[in-house]
Amino acid sequence: MKYLALIYADPKVEPQPGTPEWGALMEGYQTFSERLNKDGAFLAGEALQEVETATSVRVRSGKAEISDGPFAETKETLGGFYMIEAPDLDKALEYAAQIPTAGYGTVEIRPVMTFD
């Protein structure tokens, strides 16, 4: 079954590029991605640009309303994702716990809906 791991963190507490902590975080992501590939569980994954680059679209009364930034006011923002293949939710959660950002942020696991 396919699962989407949505990776959220507060930009104020995550390591900053160019620091030793950032280097360690990136090494953790490289190791995790290699494990997913080795297990045959990696389907896709990407990091996202900063939340300030987001644009939200809503259609109300047939008219598109466009605004800068994400819809919700929150401290944790979506920073990236992994699409993984796992036999069940327990295995997907096991993988999610290994995503480096889970140590200071949140990883949300959602099963991907399949349509017949």
Domain chopping of the chain, boundaries: 2-111
Mean pLDDT of the chain: 92
Q: What is the pLDDT of residues 66-112, one digit of tens each?
A: 888 766 667 888 999 999 999 999 999 999 999 999 999 999 999 99
Tokens coding 44: 């896709």
Which residue type, as a one-letter code, is found at position 104? Y
pLDDT of residue 73: 62
5: which residues sit within 8 A by CB, 6+ positions away? Answer: 81, 82, 83, 84, 92, 95, 96, 99, 107, 108, 109
If you average pLDDT over residues 39-53, what whole number do you get?
Answer: 93
Residue with tokens 């959660």: 93
pTM: 0.88
Min mean pLDDT across 31-35, 38-42, 56-60, 70-74 is at 70-74
pLDDT of residue 48: 94
Alpha-carbon span 47 to 99, nearest angstrom: 13
Three-class DSSP category at 16: coil
pLDDT of residue 71: 62
Which strands make up the sheet holding 106-111, listed edge to edge? 42-47, 77-85, 2-9, 106-111
CATH superfamily for 2-111 is Dimeric alpha+beta barrel (3.30.70.1060)
